[in-house]
Structure 1
């Protein structure tokens, strides 16, 4: 049995983690055995074990911005020393033939490439722009320690050009199982307690400054000034260390006079229900989002999508056909793109159907399984030569 060590940086059920489940399923579909390493316990553990894969919990030294200090780097180095030794032993005892690192935050994957001489695949979900020295060093490290470097969007690959050879770069779009979203039938308006005639506009994302919760509320302010029949929904909890943003969000709602017009539902696992209950979905990221899975999920649910015009969203949303692309720094202009959708149910339906068809054709889980499986087969074939 061919075994693949899978390394991930979280245990939540947001975009990169949900895609990890699909990657594990792709490995199993290829007749291989995944051994998954997560840094701590969380809802992702159950999702992974449900696939039949083995999960090991090990604080393997996830790279975070807080580590970019002398004390942080020392702590990270200690974690990496310990985890590298532990995982090197695991690779040898389980006869692992391939290491698959899901996210550039998992530094240990590259170290294992050196200690075990096994083939190593990086799967990059991030677009790092600053600080420039950090971007340069990390991408050079990825280049030195990866046999293949997958990007979830062309925007991700373009961002690494120059530091990672083109021969190593490969584009594989994330795929989703569109059926739960297409089939969802949930009355979210009833849960929230608003009339069915109201237009429900929502966003789903971890609470972080670049995910755009504040920008979403700035747009909501402009829309609320000229539409009475709208309500806004925010879904997601904070990254560890960013809980202070909850207070900033509450203050922004108060300053904009949006009390009673915004429902913050926090962390939810029933995302198909949330998507199915919206009328319009928005991705308000103020920095480039590599390939936001929530956009695909909204399109699969038949919802028009308004997204900021950078990152992977520009490869997903067809402007004027499946939704609209808007500025990430001009809330009033962005808000103007909602007006026709709010007023015109036919346009919402038309764009929603176009988006749904696009997901089924270009971003299906079957295509993802096929493309990722082929890459794993190629790497194992090289390993055996």
Structure 2
């Protein structure tokens, strides 16, 4: 990738000669975590609906190859991304610089690609919503962020781009509720489209008998907000209480947060759990880890707009222990094999794992039934049709 469009980016006027409309997709990262995969499904939906797709990213990463495999063209464009680091002086200076450079390059990109519409995959890249409207293009904004516990000023700032968008889709009712609390006027234009989550193809039943340690699995970012440290403490509670257990950790830290992983490893050693915890790093596919697991834990301690990792566990027919908070409630609703626990409560997680162990035959069977239910709820083809319809709605006859 480079700062110029790759492949099929065309001058305005040439882009429509073949009768194919172009959508410019703006996304901040290039990894393969939850929001990245949702954007990938959106692109698949646009391609299936006949759109030419150009995707602008801030970075290089594994997402690029996945996008190109779908027939999308990828461009690297300097863009301001709203992060907590922007609250520090150096971070704020970089944010301003990225905004100035990004505005010029971004507006040029909109025109060069001949984009008929923009799809902005997150409120954390608000410049693209504004550039789309400045260029008189319709903009579909996808809201994945929902922190009801954040300061009111932060929530309003994140909600402001919604006012500029032509249309809005949100990944959960919880996300819409947070928008409503921040800026009530925003919810009139918001439609809920639950994430499409591809499954493993075939859900493999968990092992019939729990011989040996209970195999726990954590999938996700290694960060305090995701609660992976709480999962470690829960493992310690189980082992100390005479319930043999192990924990596999699949995921990595954000660059610059390596200190958190070291802190986590130090705590594992301090608890005497070095032989019971395995750190696997990031893996683009989690299905092999879920197939080996008995129980998946999603122990987030702060608000989550939804919970793709929770849905993935259910799709894999694995019992789930999940924080009873925010969008995670929505993601885990209606599944008999899911145990809900207070956020940040290691003892409650340990108790939930014990309950699953003690009622294993029943919970294992319920997890298989839940997998079929989740496959219907979160079928990627359903999501693709709905998000493509939302784009067509805002684009109208352009």
TM-score clears 0.5:
yes
Matched residues in 1 for 2:224 and 2:344: separation?
A: 13
Name which of 190, 215, 220 aligns with 1:200: 215
- The worse-fitting range, judged by mean Cα deviation, of 25-34 and 314-323 is 314-323
Name which of 320, 323, 330 aligns with 2:345: 330
Please state how far the C-alpha of 1:350 moved relative to its aligned partner: 1.7
Deviations 1:94-116 (A, max 9, x none): 21111111122112212213421
- The worse-fitting range, judged by mean Cα deviation, of 71-80 and 360-369 is 71-80
Name which of 252, 256, 268 aligns with 1:253: 268
* Structure 1, gaps ≥5 residues long: 188-194
Deviations 1:334-369 (A, max 9, x none): 321111212343133223113202212211112101
| 1:95 lines up with 2:114 in the alignment | yes
| Cα pair distance change 1:126/1:184, threshold 3 Å | farther
Given that residues 299 and 323 in structure 2 are in contact (C-alpha distance below 8 angstroms), is that contact kept between their aligned partners in structure 1?
yes
Equivalent positions of 1:1-385 (< 5 A) are: 1-128=20-147, 129-139=149-159, 141-162=160-181, 163=183, 164-180=185-201, 182=203, 197-318=212-333, 321-381=336-396, 384=398
Please state how far the C-alpha of 1:230 moved relative to its aligned partner: 1.7
Matched residues in 2 for 1:177 and 1:114: separation?
A: 33
Given that residues 286 and 308 in structure 1 are in contact (C-alpha distance below 8 angstroms), is that contact kept between their aligned partners in structure 2?
yes
TM-score by length of 1: 0.92
Matched residues in 2 for 1:184 and 1:85: separation?
A: 53
TM-score by length of 2: 0.89
Given that residues 181 and 276 in structure 1 are in contact (C-alpha distance below 8 angstroms), is that contact kept between their aligned partners in structure 2?
no
3-state SS of paired residue (1:180)? coil
Equivalenced residue count is: 374
Please state how far the C-alpha of 1:332 moved relative to its aligned partner: 1.3
Given that residues 218 and 297 in structure 2 are in contact (C-alpha distance below 8 angstroms), is that contact kept between their aligned partners in structure 1?
yes
| Cα pair distance change 1:63/1:364, threshold 3 Å | same
Matched residues in 2 for 1:363 and 1:160: separation?
A: 23
Matched residues in 1 for 2:211 and 2:80: separation?
A: 48
Matched residues in 2 for 1:18 and 1:212: separation?
A: 21
Matched residues in 2 for 1:283 and 1:303: separation?
A: 12
Given that residues 182 and 300 in structure 1 are in contact (C-alpha distance below 8 angstroms), is that contact kept between their aligned partners in structure 2?
yes
Deviations 1:14-40 (A, max 9, x none): 111111111100000111111101111
Matched residues in 2 for 1:105 and 1:181: separation?
A: 35
Task: Tell me what 1:190 maps to.
Answer: none
Matched residues in 2 for 1:380 and 1:183: separation?
A: 42
